[in-house]
Chains A and B, each alone.
Chain A
Amino acid sequence: MLLYVFRRLLTAIPTLFVIVTLAFFLIRVAPGGPFNQERGLSPEIRANLEAEFGLNDPLWVQYLHYLRNLTHGDFGPSYNLPDFTVGELFAKGLPISIQIGASALVLALLLGSLLGTVAALNQNRGGDYAVIALATAGSTIPTFVIAPIIQLVFGLSWKLLPIGGWGDGAFVNKIGPVLTLALPQIAIVARLMRGSMIESLRSHHIRTARALGLSDWSIVVKHALRGAVLPIVSFTGPAAAALLTGSIIVETIFAIPGVGRYFVDAALNRDYTLVMGTVVVIAIFTIVFNLIVDIMYAVVDPRVRYD
Chain B
Amino acid sequence: MTEAALAAPAAVVGRSLWGDAWARLKANRAAMVSLCYLVLMAVVCIAGPWFVRHDYTTIYSDYVRTPPSLSAYPKADMVEGALTDVLKRMRVDLKEWKLEDGLATVTVTATKPVDERYLRYVDRSDTFDNAKVETKSPDGLEMTFSAAVKQQYFLFGTDNVGRDLLSRTLMAGRISLAIGLLAGVVAVMIGVLYGSTAGFIGGKVDEVMMRIVDVLYSLPFIFFVIMLVVFFGRNFVLMFLAVGAVLWLDMARIVRGQALSIRRQEYVQAAEALGVGARGILLRHVIPNLLGPVVIYMTLLVPQVIILESFLSFLGLGVQEPMTSWGVLISTGARNIGSANWMLLFPAFFLVSTLFALNFVGDGLRDALDPKDR
Interface of A toward B, CB cutoff 8 Å: 15, 18-19, 22-23, 26-27, 30-32, 136-137, 140-142, 144-145, 147-149, 151-152, 156, 163, 248-249, 252-253, 263-264, 267-268, 270, 275, 279, 282
Q: Are B223 and A267 in contact (CB under 8 A)?
A: yes
Complexed CA–CA distance, A249 and B315 (Å) = 8
Cβ of B348: which chain A residues have Cβ within 8 Å of it? 145, 148-149
Q: Is B368 an interface residue (CB 8 A)?
A: no
Across the interface, do A142 and B315 meet the contact criterion of CB distance under 8 Å?
Answer: no
- Give which listed residue, B307, B338, B344, contacts A149 with CB less than 8 A: B344
Known: A26-B227, A30-B231, A267-B230. A141 touches B355 (CB 8 A): yes
B219 close to A249 (CB less than 8 A):
no
Assess whether B311 is in contact with A249, with CB atoms less than 8 Å apart. Answer: yes
Closest beta carbon of chain A to B302's beta carbon, Å? 13
The size bracket of the interface on B is 20 to 34
From B230, B303, B331, B351, A268 is in contact (CB under 8 Å) with: B230
Rounded to whole angstroms, the CA-CA distance of A136 and B311 in the bound complex is 19
Q: Name the distance in Å between A190's Cβ and chain B's nearest Cβ.
A: 16
Quick check: A142 and B230 within 8 Å, CB to CB?
no
CB <8 Å contact, A253 and B334? yes
Q: Assess whether B314 is in contact with A144, with CB atoms less than 8 Å apart.
A: yes
Question: Within 8 Å CB of A268, what residues of B?
Answer: 226, 229-230, 317
Inter-chain residue pair count (beta carbon < 8 A): 90
Question: Which residues of B does A touch, CB under 8 Å?
Answer: 215, 218-220, 222-223, 226-227, 229-231, 303, 307, 310-311, 314-315, 317, 327, 330-331, 333-334, 337-338, 341, 344, 348, 351-352, 355-356, 359
Nearest B residue (CB) for A18? B215
Q: Knowing A19-B218, A268-B230 are in contact, say whether A279-B223 is a contact too (CB < 8 A).
A: yes
Chain B residues touching A, majority SS: helix
- How many Å lie between the Cα of A152 and that of B215 in the bound state? 42
* B4 shortest CB reach to chain A, Å: 34
State A131–B220 Cα separation when bound (angstroms): 31
**Chain B: minimal CB distance from A277 (Å):** 12
**A residues in contact with B317, CB < 8 Å:** 264, 268
Bound: A141/B353 CA distance, A: 9
**Within 8 Å CB of B222, what residues of A?**
248, 263-264
Complex-state Cα separation, A140 to B358, whole angstroms: 10
B223 contacts which chain A residues (CB < 8 A)? Answer: 23, 26, 263, 267, 275, 279
On chain A, the residues within 8 Å of B310 by CB distance are 142, 144
Q: Does the CB pair B219–A19 fall under 8 Å?
A: yes
A27 touches B227 (CB 8 A): yes
Which 10 A-B pairs rank lowest in CB-CB distance, beginning with the nearest? A148-B334, A267-B226, A30-B230, A145-B348, A140-B355, A144-B314, A152-B337, A142-B307, A141-B352, A140-B356
Residue of A140, A151, A152, A279 contacting most chain B CB atoms (<10 Å): A140
Q: Within the assembled complex, what's the spacing in Å between the Cα atoms of A59 and B331?
A: 38
Q: How far is the CA of A268 from the CA of B229 in the complex (A)?
A: 9
Residues of B contacting A149 in the complex (Cβ-Cβ under 8 angstroms):
344, 348
Given A156-B341, A249-B314, 12 other A-B residues pairs in contact with their CB atoms under 8 A: A19-B218, A23-B219, A30-B227, A31-B230, A140-B356, A142-B310, A144-B314, A147-B334, A148-B330, A248-B315, A264-B315, A264-B317
Known: A23-B219, A140-B352, A140-B355. A148 touches B230 (CB 8 A): no
Chain A residues whose CB sits within 8 angstroms of the CB of B218 once the complex forms: 15, 18-19
Question: Could you tell me the distance between the alpha carbons of A140 and B362 in the complex, rounded to whole angstroms?
Answer: 12
Contacts of B331 in A (CB 8 A): 144
A-B contact pairs, 22 of them (CB 8 A): A19-B219, A22-B215, A30-B227, A137-B356, A140-B303, A140-B352, A140-B355, A141-B352, A144-B311, A144-B330, A145-B351, A148-B330, A148-B348, A149-B344, A152-B344, A263-B220, A263-B222, A264-B226, A267-B230, A268-B317, A275-B223, A282-B220
